[in-house]
């Protein structure tokens, strides 16, 4: 199986994404590293370990990473979407957190990359701070990275600012570092696609019927779904981070196309905007940007895999 490091800030959709990876036989999750993001790093770290316990995978090392962005303070948390606990106010229904790896996230990432005979895919599901620090601090390990698949960005409307998507807006300098890294294949899964892949009531009910652990997973979505209805007038939940995992597990599923991408790092209204340069001859390292997918197939495949949690 393909070796994977998942960097995450759970987070309701992060929880779905982690479970999806842990249940997929094509990949071997070698490490989970945790960043600040939807809620504080203290909470995301405990949540990641709760999710691993729910999946029965406390054998996977989980290490704590960045507590804040590289340069400026974090603009805002996403606790209104993910609940003050980061699990839709349902953390009490999850098992107690599994063990914490004593290494800092960067050390764990570096250890996994050094030890793996094959290059490792990094899946980034939160602010890109840990991954940016890895690239900056361990240049000798860059050839050991098979690919980075990151959920983030938007070509159009943002979800945190007019043009700013949450993960990129949370640490624009880190995102700029990752998205302009030469010699590493990077795939970006932006809102333009994730906002088309919506789990509706029927999808969530089908998952909840899969068993008690599936039901616990679906329970975390209640608040998120209410927020989604309030903001977008649609009764559904976007599965954002799960799409990045699906693309990492089954490369090409999201049919990405190559464009240079840069991030607005200025302070002001454009901060956190991702500029995807779609001119045919645009210069710069190319990022594979996932703008298109067979949406019904993505939804049914995600459900098929998640339901095996039981």
Structure tokens at 225: 């779904």
Contacts with ligand BDR, residue ranges (CB under 6 A): 11, 13-14, 38, 78, 81, 125-126, 151, 159, 165-167, 240-241
How far is Cα 42 from Cα 86, in angstroms, rounded to an integer? 11
How far is Cα 243 from Cα 245, in angstroms, rounded to an integer? 5
165 counts as binding Ca ion under rule CB under 5 A: no
Q: Please select the residue that binds Ca ion; options are 3, 4, 7, 11, rule is CB under 5 A.
A: 11
Interacting partner of 165 out of ligand BDR, Ca ion, none (Cβ under 5 to 8 A depending on kind): ligand BDR
How far is Cα 13 from Cα 126, in angstroms, rounded to an integer? 10
- Range in contact with Ca ion (rule: CB under 5 A) among 8-16, 60-68, 277-285, 296-304: 8-16
| Residue 161 Cβ vs ligand BDR, minimum distance, rounded to whole Å | 11
For residue 196, the 8-state DSSP code is T
| Residue 212 Cβ vs ligand BDR, minimum distance, rounded to whole Å | 24
Q: Rounded to whole angstroms, what are the CA distances from 27 to 2, 95, 100, 307? A: 4, 24, 22, 17
Q: Is 240 noted as a catalytic residue in this protein?
A: yes
**Beta carbons within 8 Å of 87's beta carbon, 6+ residues apart:** 10, 12, 15, 47, 50, 94, 220
| Residue 291 Cβ vs ligand BDR, minimum distance, rounded to whole Å | 16
| Residue 76 Cβ vs ligand BDR, minimum distance, rounded to whole Å | 11
14 counts as binding Ca ion under rule CB under 5 A: yes
Measured from each CB, the residue nearest to ligand BDR is 166
| Interface ranges with Ca ion (CB under 5 A) | 9, 11, 14, 125-126, 241
């Amino acid at each position: 199986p393909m070796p994977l490091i998942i960097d995450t800030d759970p987070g309701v959709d992060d929880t779905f994404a982690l479970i999806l990876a842990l249940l997929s036989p094509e990949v071997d999750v070698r490490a989970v590293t945790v960043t600040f993001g939807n809620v504080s790093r203290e909470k995301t770290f405990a949540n990641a370990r709760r999710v691993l316990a729910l999946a029965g995978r406390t054998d996977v090392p989980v290490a704590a990473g960045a507590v804040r962005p590289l340069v400026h303070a974090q603009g805002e948390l996403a606790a209104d979407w993910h609940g003050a606990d980061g699990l839709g106010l349902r953390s009490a229904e999850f098992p107690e957190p599994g063990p914490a790896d004593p290494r800092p996230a960067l050390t764990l990432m570096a250890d996994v990359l050094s030890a793996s005979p094959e290059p490792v895919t990094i899946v980034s599901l939160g602010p890109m701070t840990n991954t940016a620090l890895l690239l900056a601090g361990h240049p000798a390990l860059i050839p050991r990275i098979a690919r980075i698949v990151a959920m983030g960005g938007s070509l159009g409307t943002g979800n945190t600012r007019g043009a700013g998507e949450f993960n990129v807006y949370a640490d624009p300098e880190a995102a700029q570092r990752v998205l302009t890294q030469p010699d590493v294949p990077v795939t970006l899964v932006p809102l333009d696609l994730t906002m088309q892949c919506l789990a509706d009531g029927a999808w969530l009910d089908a998952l909840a019927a899969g068993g008690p652990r599936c039901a616990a997973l679906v329970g975390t979505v209640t608040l998120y779904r209410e927020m989604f209805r309030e903001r977008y007038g649609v009764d559904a939940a976007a599965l954002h981070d799960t799409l990045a995992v699906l693309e990492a597990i089954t490369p090409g599923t999201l049919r990405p196309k190559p464009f240079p991408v840069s991030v607005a790092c200025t302070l002001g209204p454009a901060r956190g905007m991702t500029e995807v340069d779609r001119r045919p001859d645009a210069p710069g390292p190319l990022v594979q940007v996932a703008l298109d997918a067979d949406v019904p197939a993505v939804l049914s495949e995600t459900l098929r895999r998640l339901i095996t949690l039981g």
